[in-house]
Amino acid sequence: MRRARPGAAARVHDFEGFYTSGFPAVYRATLAFSGSSDVAAEATPEAFVRAVARGRRLSRAPWALGWVMTTSLNVARRLARQHPQERGPESDAAHESDARWVERLDLVERLALLPPRQRQAVVLHYLGGFELAEVAQLMNLSIGGVKSNLFKGREALRRTQEARDHADD
């Protein structure tokens, strides 16, 4: 009998464990990407349902959680196009301190200004914790393409932060 490899891929067979352990990271990345808790709450479970539909093919993949995260971002992108008026920063974090919430809201607003490819690369790499090679595979780009999107995204985020800092002076 063939045994599944340990890690996220093996947990797809144990859907409840895979869902429970992966949901928080996928939800956070989708929230940061979309800027909407409603979109993140709809896209994240849908991505996990699609993973179950893929069954065995996905369960053998060492990048199963990355596939779910990318799928969630794609679903979020589709939902944002269908309901653009609903897109925008909001809070699920009623218990967060005001300072932390303002910082989080600012990041979500600034991420929303990035072009989709830059935003996806930034979210996958910095919020999702994926290595460059994994992001490249998930986005169907070369590592150089990922680096370019990350560089441009970081520069755009830096410029918007600097502009806000100067506006506050």
Give residue-wise pLDDT tens across range 7-42.
444 444 566 777 888 888 889 888 888 878 889 999
For residue 74, count other CB atoms closer than 10 A to its CB.
18
Give the CA angle between residues 72, 73, 79 to the nearest 5°. 90
Q: Which pLDDT band, with edges at 50, 70 and 90, does 148 fall under?
A: very high
Residue 5: which residues within 8 A CB-CB, separation 6 or more?
A: 60, 62
How many residues belong to the chain?
169
| Residue 150, pLDDT above cutoff 70 | yes
Average pLDDT over every residue of 92-112 = 57
Tokens 């979109």 — which residue?
39
Average per-residue pLDDT for the chain: 76
